[in-house]
Amino acid sequence: MTRYSLAYGHEHKEFELDSNRVLKEVHIAKFPEIVNLKAAILESIYHPIGREPIDKIIKPGQKIAFICNDPTRVANTFDFMPVLVNEMNKLGVKDEDMFVIFALGTHRNMTREEMVEAVGPDVGSRVKLYNSDSKVEEDFQYFGETSRKTPVWFNKKICNVDHIFMTGSIVHHFFCGYGGGRKAILPGVAAMETIRMNHSHMLEEHADIGVLHGNPCYEDQMEAVSMFAKGRSLFLFNCVLDAEHHFLKIFAGDYDLAHQEACKFVDEVYGVDIPETADIVISSCGGYPKDINVYQMQKTMNNAWCAVREGGVVIMVAECIEGSGSKPLEDTCREYDSADKIKALLEKHFAIGVHKAFAVTRLMQKAKFILVSALNSELAKTMEFSGVVDSVPAALKLAEETVGKDYKIIIMPEGGYTVPLVKDKN
């Protein structure tokens, strides 16, 4: 027997398995972490990809906006923001001429305490901090319409500065291909209608994980951001982290070229070969904040789905302390009892939250999903989960009702990051 410990919220769930049952334990590829982070940050901005060094770009007295992640996306912003802000000071930019705007997309507003925690107390006490609330229409400026009919509205606060730093981390994304890059702006600081129309393309072919070129969501995002970028200075600062949130590499410079290079590295770090799909997949999101609610957990569900066979079972170890994270998700699942019906609804009128109901339930057309979670069992049943228990052994007992007692398992301790790839398909 082998003992396993999977992240669950701020804690862990422990269990034992017969190692003969385990096909593979899926982990992020081992890369050395950055030892001297400050030096790496400065190296990245003074030797950027596709742009001049930062001291050739920034001039004394200019105004700078930093777009930063909200709590649902780990970027260790508090580690790099003090370095960036201090370096801007050295280049002649005053604290009062810089601010941070948080890329909320359609997520809830952050509290003052959360904003300070995100950037660190030093930066939080020196520069102004703002939420980008997609629902406040008057906060956004119009830039036209993309070729896919997406109206382009971006937060006014980033429209009248000299430079915009697009910060954040990069992982795979289940329909935009990859996070990072242009996503700091769309959906990050875009208006609700802009996000809604862009995300509606998730229903189309090629809107898939690990796909950029030919992906309608990605291409629409790039077109919208390019409309905004004309005559403006955008500077990308994206990092790639491991499961313990250590920095592996930093990519800075042109928001397109640097992002392309980052995505290649993301594939090396997070893409993992598996010998075959398994009867049962046991997956952790990696703990808080990736398992804060069902809305965020779905991304890990999508990764685990890649590793399970048709008719198999996925056991999700996810606390979901904030419940579903979306009232539209809940309401849609209560009213419509299948992914096909939800998809038909979205094809008539795409709505944020409803799209997540489809993203969750469509996965269950291939396999059953059992939760090891604090989620309310009735709510879980509404969203078509096949049960909620408090331990992995209890989940396995429940899974045996579907796959029998002779089964093989794939374990994904870092399921929020890793994307399993069946060898014979590559």
Q: What is the pLDDT of residue 74?
A: 87
For residue 422, what pLDDT is reported? 85
Strand order in the sheet with 64-69: 128-131, 98-103, 64-69, 163-169, 234-241, 247-253
> Do 47 and 189 belong together in one domain?
yes
Task: Specify the number of domains making up the chain.
Answer: 2
Residue 118 resides in a domain: yes
User: In this predicted structure, what is the pLDDT of residue 311?
Assistant: 98
CATH number of the domain that residue 403 is part of: 3.90.226.30
Are 306 and 217 in the same domain?
Answer: no
Q: What is the pLDDT of residues 74-122, one digit of tens each?
A: 899 999 999 999 999 999 999 999 999 999 999 999 999 999 999 999 9
Pair 16, 99 in one domain: no
Does the pLDDT of residue 262 top 90, yes or no?
yes
Report the percent of the chain where pLDDT is more than 70.
99
**Apex CA 376: angle with CA 372 and CA 382, to 5°?**
100
How large is the average pLDDT for residues 15-33? 95
> Quick check: 243 pLDDT over 90?
no
Residues 230 and 374 in one domain: no
pLDDT tens figures, 164-210: 999 999 999 999 999 999 999 999 999 999 999 999 999 999 999 99
For residue 24, the surrounding DSSP H or E stretch is: strand 22-25
The verdict on 155 and 181 lying in the same domain is: yes
Tell how strand 151-155 and strand 140-145 pair up: antiparallel
**pLDDT of 391 over the 90 cut:** yes
For position 142, what pLDDT does the model report? 98
Residues 227 and 281 in one domain: no
| 13 contacts 5 by C-beta, under 8 angstroms | yes
- Strands (DSSP E) along 133-194, which ranges? 140-145, 151-155, 163-169, 172-173, 177-178
* Residue 425 scores a pLDDT above 70: no
Q: Read off the pLDDT of each residue in 393-416 and give the average, rounded to a whole number.
A: 97
Q: Are residues 293 and 229 in the same domain?
A: no
Same domain, 327 and 300: yes
Task: Provide the strand spans (E) within 200-296.
Answer: 234-241, 247-253, 271-274, 278-284
- Domain span at residue 198 reads 37-241
Q: What is the pLDDT of residues 34-66, one digit of tens each?
A: 999 999 999 999 999 999 999 999 999 999 999
Q: Are residues 296 and 401 in the same domain?
A: yes
* Same domain, yes or no: 199 and 290: no
pLDDT at 73: 85
The predicted pLDDT at position 228 comes to 98
Predicted pLDDT of residue 424: 57
Please give the DSSP secondary-structure letter assigned to residue 364.
G
**94: CATH:** 3.40.50.11440
Q: Do both 159 and 282 map to the same domain?
A: no
Same domain? 204 vs 331? no
Distance (Å, rounded) from C-alpha 292 to C-alpha 335? 24
pLDDT of 72: 83
- For residues 235 and 54, the answer to whether their CB atoms sit within 8 Å is yes
AA identity, residue 155:
N
Q: Which two tokens stand for residue 344?
A: 């038909």
Q: Which pLDDT belongs to residue 357?
A: 96
CA dihedral for 401, 405, 409, 411, sign (positive or negative): positive
Is residue 174 a part of any domain in this protein? yes
Q: Is residue 356 part of a domain?
A: yes
Q: How many residues does the chain have?
A: 426
Q: Is the pLDDT of residue 426 over 60?
A: no
Q: Is residue 254 part of a domain?
A: no
Q: Are 98 and 64 in contact (CB under 8 A)?
A: yes
- Who contacts 235 (Cβ-Cβ below 8 Å, separation ≥6)? 45, 48, 51, 54, 57, 163, 164, 165, 166, 252, 253, 255
Per-residue pLDDT reduced to its tens digit, 117-176:
999 999 999 999 999 999 999 999 999 999 999 999 999 999 999 999 999 999 999 999
C-alpha R_g of the chain = 21
